């Protein structure tokens, strides 16, 4: 695709559960350039062709995590996916798999965020001395930071959750995002949650339910490796805390 305008066909999932309608696909022809993102193409549809189209977005720079959708069958961020990189004359966009639909391309994140919250994604402390003294910091070595920092890059976009085959069949499974955040706090040297954290995911719907398909890590736009976090959590659950 050159820098000149070309046309692409967008095949867009449409569904409004509130009016009892049935899902359908609408086709729109959209002018695009080499640097047009899927989000920009959808905003062209909304601004020029059909203002009733519902999409969710905010930052347009792969930071807020709100524009996730299925694009040609894979979970991706619409603002981070160039039309030209898809090498396809027709692009199909659908709401994220494994999420209920609010309307059109907008997924309902209620369960997803509920599972995230259930992991207590904050430091649990017995000794609260540093928390109570505003002029004192927790100290951490570079090695301690490296144990969790990649998991802290999560933007809660839900792409890994949409890609997970276990989430698709077991709604009680927390999913790769929640489990990687559990590990992120569990392994943080400042956290004192320890066994209390593992307890939350120790039943048959928890960390042992993962079959290591690995699709979560393949689709993450921030380089987080939730499959690794789940393997490390499983090791902790089976063999106890490792310090190395
Ligand atoms: S782990 Fe990656 S794919 Fe999953 S929610 Fe976080 S940023 Fe998105
Ligand atoms: S709009 Fe914020 S991540 Fe895409």
Report residue 244's pLDDT band, with 50, 70 and 90 as the boundaries.
very low
Residues 95 and 176 in one domain: no
**Domain containing residue 207: CATH number:** 1.10.1060.10
**Closest-lying ligand to the alpha carbon of 78?**
2
pLDDT on residue 61? 97
In a domain, 189, yes or no: yes
Confidence check: pLDDT of 48 > 60: yes
**Domain containing residue 66: CATH number:** 3.10.20.30
- The ligand 1 site (C-beta within 6 Å) comprises 154-160, 177, 180, 219-220, 222, 224, 226
Tell the residue nearest (CA) to atom 6 of ligand 1. 154
Boundary (domain end) residue, out of 107, 134, 149: 107
Spatial separation of the C-alpha atoms in residues 98 and 163, rounded to whole Å = 8
The number of folded domains in the chain is: 2
Report residue 3's pLDDT band, with 50, 70 and 90 as the boundaries.
low
Parent domain of 141: 110-239
Tell the residue nearest (CA) to atom 7 of ligand 1. 154
Boundary (domain end) residue, out of 77, 107, 137: 107
Residues 64 and 119 in one domain: no
pLDDT on residue 194? 86
Report residue 243's pLDDT band, with 50, 70 and 90 as the boundaries.
very low
Residues 97 and 137 in one domain: no
Residues 73 and 114 in one domain: no
Query: How confident is the model over 103-124, as a mean pLDDT?
Result: 97
In a domain, 88, yes or no: yes
Q: Contact 171/161 with Cβ under 8 angstroms?
A: no
Q: Contact 219/163 with Cβ under 8 angstroms?
A: yes
Residue owning tokens 């640097």? 35
Residues 132 and 93 in one domain: no
Tell the residue nearest (CA) to atom 2 of ligand 1. 220
Query: How confident is the model over 103-127, as a mean pLDDT?
Result: 96
177 CA distance to ligand 1 centroid (A)? 6
Residues 205 and 166 in one domain: yes
Sorted by sequence, the CB contacts under 8 Å of residue 209 that are 6+ apart come out as 166, 170, 173
**Closest-lying ligand to the alpha carbon of 57?**
2
Residues 73 and 123 in one domain: no
Q: Which of 40, 63, 219 to mutate to test the pocket of ligand 2 (most atoms within 8 A of CB)?
A: 63
Residues 62 and 145 in one domain: no
Ligand 1 nearest atom to the CA of residue 65, by list position: 8
pLDDT on residue 68? 98
Report residue 138's pLDDT band, with 50, 70 and 90 as the boundaries.
confident
Prediction pTM value: 0.93
Report residue 202's pLDDT band, with 50, 70 and 90 as the boundaries.
confident
Per-residue pLDDT tens digits for 154-197: 999 999 999 999 999 999 999 999 999 999 999 999 999 988 89
Residues 103 and 35 in one domain: yes
- 2-6, 62-66, 196-200: least confident range: 2-6
Spatial separation of the C-alpha atoms in residues 99 and 101, rounded to whole Å = 6
Tell the residue nearest (CA) to atom 3 of ligand 1. 220
174 CA distance to ligand 2 centroid (A)? 23
In a domain, 244, yes or no: no
Give the DSSP H or E segment for 174: none
Residues 52 and 117 in one domain: no
Ligand 1 nearest atom to the CA of residue 163, by list position: 3
Boundary (domain end) residue, out of 107, 139, 168: 107
């Amino acid at each position: 695709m050159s820098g000149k305008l070309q046309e692409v066909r967008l095949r867009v999932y449409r569904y409004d559960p509130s009016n009892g309608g049935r899902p359908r696909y609408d086709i729109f022809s959209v002018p695009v350039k080499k640097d047009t993102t899927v989000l920009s193409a959808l905003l062209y549809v909304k601004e020029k062709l059909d203002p009733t189209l519902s999409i969710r977005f905010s930052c347009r720079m792969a930071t807020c995590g709100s524009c996730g959708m299925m694009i040609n069958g894979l979970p991706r961020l619409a603002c981070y996916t160039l039309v030209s990189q898809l090498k396809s004359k027709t692009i199909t966009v659908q709401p994220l798999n494994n999420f209920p639909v609010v309307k059109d391309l907008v997924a309902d994140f209620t369960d997803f965020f509920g599972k995230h919250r259930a992991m207590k994604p904050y430091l649990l402390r017995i000794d609260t001395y540093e928390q109570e003294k505003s002029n004192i910091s927790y100290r951490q070595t570079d090695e301690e930071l490296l144990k969790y920092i990649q998991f802290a890059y999560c933007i809660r976009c839900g792409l890994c959750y949409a890609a997970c085959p276990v989430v698709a069949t077991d709604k009680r499974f927390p999913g790769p995002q929640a489990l990687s955040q559990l590990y992120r706090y569990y392994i943080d040297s400042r956290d004192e949650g320890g066994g209390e954290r593992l307890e939350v995911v120790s039943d048959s719907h928890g960390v042992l339910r993962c079959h290591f398909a690995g699709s979560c890590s393949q689709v993450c736009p921030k380089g987080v490796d939730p499959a690794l976090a789940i393997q490390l959590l499983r090791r902790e659950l089976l063999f106890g805390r490792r310090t190395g």
